[in-house]
Amino acid sequence: MDMILPVYKPVGMTSFDVIRDFKRAVHPDFKIGHGGTLDPFADGVLLLLLGKATKKMNELQALPKTYKATAKLGASSDTLDRTGSVGKQLTAYSLRREQIEAAAKNFVGEIEQEIPDYSATKINGVPRYKLARAGKEMEKKSKLVTIYKLEIEKIEGELVTFVTTVSSGTYIRQLSYDIFKSMGIDSYLESLTRTKIGDYTLSKSHQISEFSSDKWKY
């Protein structure tokens, strides 16, 4: 089997958990990689690269990605998502849709994005998230990313859902935080779904339960 297999990764699993499940169901020594990690708290499209398709890893990881995200306003989190230590914001706020859309427009295009402390980016070989958990202070770093599209889908009380298409390496947690921080409001991501990688879509992704079917016998 030499192919690119789009798979639905559920919340709570890591990208490597999905690979382990495939190897367990098909063959423990099967050559397999993936086309871009997805945080455990997020769900959505994960590309498994089977056999010779692993040679396309760099090409696939560079593809633009589309996400549907829901931010919760009025509270902060050290990880910028619901898995972290959440603290309430004391300042009240009142927003109209037009205000949020105007703020979001400022983040479309090429932007300088701060790399979150809770990320896999390494400092002297150690992931930033490990240093953050240990309470270590880190120098702030940033990088250029591109936000191709950003649209507000709906607003329900303190929850704001938006859809965005971004370049590889963009942190949606940081993007969401920065948008609302520019309005003077703390926030964190309540949910995150990757709906598309290049032309690979969520609707055409396989379920992990399919790994044990006869079609994958090796």
CA dist., res. 125 & res. 147, Å (int): 28
Q: Which residue has the higher pLDDT, 4 or 134?
A: 4
Burial status of residue 47 (CB atoms within 10 A of its CB: 0-12, 13-18, 19 or more): buried
Q: Which residue has the higher pLDDT, 111 or 217?
A: 111
Q: What is the pLDDT of residue 154?
A: 95
What mean pLDDT do residues 41-59 have? 91
The pTM (predicted TM-score) of the whole model is 0.90
Q: Which of 29, 39, 178, 199 is catalytic?
A: 39
Assess whether 43 carries a catalytic annotation.
no
Q: What is the pLDDT of residue 109?
A: 97
Would the pLDDT of 218 be above 60?
Answer: no
Q: Rounded to whole angstroms, what are the CA distances from 106 to 83, 112, 152, 182?
A: 27, 12, 13, 10
Domains of the chain from N-terminus onward: 3-62+199-216 (3.30.2350.10), 65-197 (3.30.2350.10)
* Range picked from 89-98, 109-118, 135-144, 154-163 for highest mean pLDDT: 154-163
CA dist., res. 38 & res. 194, Å (int): 8
Q: What is the pLDDT of residue 54?
A: 87
CA dist., res. 1 & res. 104, Å (int): 43
Q: What is the pLDDT of residue 91?
A: 59
Q: Which two tokens stand for residue 21?
A: 């499940």
* Range picked from 37-41, 86-90, 144-148 for highest mean pLDDT: 144-148
Ranges of beta strands (E only) in the chain are 3-9, 32-34, 43-50, 65-73, 75-77, 86-88, 109-114, 122-123, 126-127, 142-156, 159-166, 187-197, 200-201
Q: What is the pLDDT of residue 36?
A: 81
